Copies of this chain bind each other. A is one copy, B any other.
Amino acid sequence: MVAEIICVGTELLLGQIVNTNAQYLSQKLAELGIDLYFQTTVGDNLIRLKNAIEIASKRADILIFTGGLGPTSDDITREAVCEYFGKRLILDQEILHRIENYFKRIGVKMPEINKKQAYVPEGAIILENKHGTAPGLIIEENNKIAILLPGPPFEMQPMFEEYVIPYLERFSNQKIFSRVLKFVGIGESSIEERLKDLIENQTDPSLALYAKPFEVELRISTKKSSKDLAKDLLDQMESRVRALLGEYIYGVDNQTLEEVIVEMLMQKGLKVSVAESCTGGLICNKITNVPGASNVFDRGFITYSNQAKIKELGVSDQALKNFGAVSHEVAKQMALGALNNSLADIAISTTGIAGPTGATNTKPVGLVYVGIATKNYVDSFEFRFSGDRLKIKESASKAALNVLRRALISY
């Protein structure tokens, strides 16, 4: 079976929003093992939408629409599909009731125009919308299937996962299963070199690398008829990769570096404090994005000026004069200061040049020192990052979090 995606909405043709629906649906279809050869985007225009349906019907079996199911006269997907398939729209009392209830729940009287959304093509399968008023619809006719979904992603995605995936699974006997291993502290080309044999000689599961700022993802994918069959294969490949590069892998699938760190701190019953200069609060912000961070994050010192480094962290005048604020020595003193002036068991620090100005002959933009201190030791690391101010802040914050992660492993 071949699918085609048709996204309906003039706002897409004006570039007012980016089409995340096309990406989401494409990804899901790939996972389901259903082929997709074309995506089409068309405005809120009946003639042009019907033209798109006619073309898509010639080259695909399953037509998936997003958008154009709203209550206004602009919303024409239902009408266009009905006209194409020769179906009548009929009032569905149960849907009307559901829409009225939706408005009751949010404490608003149902506007008369919303009644339009209770008209559905005769014989259609109705997909409940738990996050809005427009129900989804599946129409089967002449060996073609039309699936109509609402445009807002927060309505469309839960509907797709709950109803459309189970519906589509019957059309595919093999799905793509994948697992993402997340690397930090090693570059894409180094990973490629170390995994050369695996990547070149491996067809199932397949391996693909994606580089991000100071982070690389390895996607391991396989097409199988069941989750269990896939799991064994993915487990085996994960073990082989871990045997070669395990120390650089911080997490799997959707885990973030800060989530992994908050979890490690919780498990070990430790608290962290942070002293930031060039990252300017980004590390504290990342850590406090994780729910429950208050159990493990004691405090942060954003010491941008030299005076702040001296007063808040006890960095010595001497060190600032002799080595400069961007130095191994100051990074170490900052980490020690954050440890000693808090209730934390471990502390990290950053000091560097985020740019665009501030570089000297010996200290270029992108030079960053990360410090770490516990009751037993203090250490520091030098990094050289490229990119603009925001990219350097992002890379430096991840480098510091990785220094913390490695220290926690052996704490």
Contacts and interface: CB of A to CB of B under 8 A. Distances in A.
A393 B289 contact: yes
Contacts of A305: 294, 298-299, 343
A229 B34 CA distance: 52
Interface string A1-38: 00000000000111111111011111111100000111
A48 B37 CA distance: 8
A contact residues, range: 35 or more
Contacts of A298: 304-305, 307-308
A233 interface: no
B40 A38 contact: yes
A42 interface: yes
Contact of A389 (B16, B284, B291, B341): B291
A26 B20 contact: no
A358 B55 CA distance: 55
A19 B27 CA distance: 13
Contacts of A36: 13
* Identical copies in the complex: 2
Question: From DSSP, what is the main secondary structure of chain A's interface residues?
Answer: mixed
A20 B356 CA distance: 27
A300 B276 CA distance: 9
A284 B299 CA distance: 14
B304 A301 contact: no
19 contacts: A12-B22, A13-B26, A15-B22, A15-B23, A15-B30, A17-B23, A51-B59, A279-B285, A280-B288, A280-B293, A282-B288, A284-B285, A289-B389, A292-B357, A294-B304, A298-B307, A299-B305, A305-B343, A308-B342
Interface of A: 12-20, 22-30, 36-43, 45, 48, 51-52, 55, 59, 274, 276, 279-285, 287-289, 291-294, 297-305, 307-308, 311-312, 341-343, 354-358, 389-390, 393
